[in-house]
């Protein structure tokens, strides 16, 4: 075992894993975290605690993850390279593991101009692949980046990364995931999937490269709330493609939210049949209270108890 986290044990025991997201508050109101944890506890194996997502200032992912541990749910702490240099990131990893956090997902982060601090400076001392390798070095070699100075203690982290099967140039997307596998990633969560045929083509490329035998692939699923949401995401969110047929289906539905949940269930069931997919990451954006219904309807309950 690399970290002994619940998520790692779910994978090791051959179960189909389920994760979701928990966005920290825009302040220090702990009740926001508790409310979301209460919606998610028991329905997922772990939750991604986002790191100032969309470059908007929020409670730190480390503090939120530590509170999640106290509240009885396992966090996957996101860390973005946008805001920290390698000194700060290694220091934060010391603190995170000391606080009982056992999973990390290494990301570049949204550009600062998307957020509420447009005059901030991006750091990007490392990219996400280098961050993955840095965490692996700290865990497996028990040294700081560079390999010279020994660490006092153990940095036991189950290391995650992200993949976008829909960005261009498409032919390089699987190769980039393979690069993360070579760097030491243990699991991958994908961008939300609406174009299932393109995702299946990407998974074939992943299998051809043998990545699915080294890394646990989790398919990203985001339930749509309305046709308007579908149109907005298709037009404005980079790296997301939504087929016109899916938008039309949402537009014709009597209740868009209900249809969105139905589509979400169908997607979960479809990705379960794809060779090499080991779990789903359900991104119910500010819709955490629907996770229980989604996991139940998709036949994903009860979640496994692993030792």
Answer whether residue 50 shows pLDDT above 80.
Answer: yes
Task: Find, among 160, 44, 62, the residue nearest to 106 by Cα.
Answer: 160
**Domain-wise residue ranges, the chain:** 6-297
Tokens of 39: 């919606």
The mean pLDDT value for 259-287 works out to 96
- Which tens digits make up the pLDDT trace of 144-174? 999 989 999 999 999 999 999 999 899 999 9
Of the pLDDT bands very low, low, confident and very high (cuts 50, 70, 90), residue 239 is confident
The mean pLDDT value for 103-125 works out to 95
Give the pLDDT score at 5. Answer: 98
Give the pLDDT score at 238. Answer: 77
The mean pLDDT value for 233-254 works out to 92
Tokens 């961008």 locate to 191
Of the pLDDT bands very low, low, confident and very high (cuts 50, 70, 90), residue 99 is very high
DSSP string, 84-112: --HHHHHHHHHHHHHTT--EEEEE----G
Give the pLDDT score at 148. Answer: 87
- Which tens digits make up the pLDDT trace of 256-269? 999 999 999 999 99
DSSP string, 218-267: EEEE-----HHHHHHHHHHSTT----HHHHHHHHH-SSHHHHHHHHHHHH
In percent, how much of the chain has pLDDT > 70?
100
Do the beta carbons of residue 64 and residue 49 sit within 8 Å?
A: yes
Give the pLDDT score at 285. Answer: 81
Do the beta carbons of residue 157 and residue 194 sit within 8 Å?
A: no
Coil vs helix vs strand at 41: coil
Angle of helix 173-183 versus helix 196-208 axis, rounded to 10: 50
CA distance 181 to 59: 30
The number of helix segments (H) and strand segments (E) in the chain equals 11, 8
In percent, how much of the chain has pLDDT > 90?
94
Strands (E), 137-232: 158-163, 187-192, 216-221
Of the pLDDT bands very low, low, confident and very high (cuts 50, 70, 90), residue 237 is confident
Of the pLDDT bands very low, low, confident and very high (cuts 50, 70, 90), residue 230 is very high
Element (DSSP H or E) covering residue 268: helix 256-272
The mean pLDDT value for 77-92 works out to 98
How many CB atoms lie under 10 A from the CB of residue 216? 22
| Mean pLDDT estimate for the chain | 96
Give the pLDDT score at 134. Answer: 98
Q: Which pTM value belongs to this model? A: 0.97
- Which tens digits make up the pLDDT trace of 59-83? 999 999 999 999 999 999 999 999 9
Tokens of 22: 């928990």
Give the pLDDT score at 236. Answer: 87
Give the pLDDT score at 19. Answer: 98
Answer whether residue 25 shows pLDDT above 80.
Answer: yes
Q: Which residues contact 114 (CB under 8 A, 6 or more apart)?
A: 54, 55
CATH 3.20.20.220 fits 6-297, yes or no: yes
The mean pLDDT value for 108-125 works out to 94
Backbone phi, psi, residue 272, to 5° = -60, -25
């Amino acid at each position: 075992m690399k970290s002994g986290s619940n998520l790692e044990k779910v994978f090791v025991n051959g179960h189909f894993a389920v994760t979701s997201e928990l966005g920290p508050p825009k302040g220090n109101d702990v009740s926001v975290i508790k409310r979301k944890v209460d919606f998610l506890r028991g329905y997922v194996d772990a939750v991604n605690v986002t790191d100032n997502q969309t470059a908007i200032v929020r409670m730190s992912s480390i503090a939120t993850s530590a509170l999640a541990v106290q509240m009885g749910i396992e966090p996957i702490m996101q860390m973005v390279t946008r805001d920290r240099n390698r000194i700060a990131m290694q220091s934060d990893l010391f603190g995170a593991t000391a606080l009982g956090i056992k999973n990390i997902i290494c990301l570049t982060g949204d550009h600062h101009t998307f957020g509420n601090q447009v005059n901030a400076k991006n750091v990007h001392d490392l990219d996400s692949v280098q961050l993955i390798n840095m965490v692996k070095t700290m865990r497996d070699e028990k040294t700081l980046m560079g390999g010279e100075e020994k660490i006092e203690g153990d940095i036991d982290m189950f290391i995650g990364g992200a993949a976008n099967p829909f960005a261009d140039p498409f032919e390089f997307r699987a190769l980039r995931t393979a690069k993360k596998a070579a760097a030491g990633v243990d699991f991958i969560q994908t961008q939300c999937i609406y174009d299932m045929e393109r995702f299946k083509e990407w998974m074939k490329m992943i299998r051809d490269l043998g990545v699915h035998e080294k890394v646990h692939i989790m398919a990203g699923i985001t339930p749509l709330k309305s046709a308007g949401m579908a149109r907005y995401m298709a037009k404005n969110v980079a790296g997301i493609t939504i087929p016109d047929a899916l938008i039309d289906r949402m537009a014709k539905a009597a209740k868009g939210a209900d249809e969105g949940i139905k589509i979400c269930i169908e997607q979960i069931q479809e990705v379960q049949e794809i060779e090499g997919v080991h779990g789903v990451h359900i991104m119910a954006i500010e819709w955490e209270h629907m996770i229980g219904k989604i996991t139940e309807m998709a036949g994903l309950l009860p979640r496994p108890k692993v030792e």
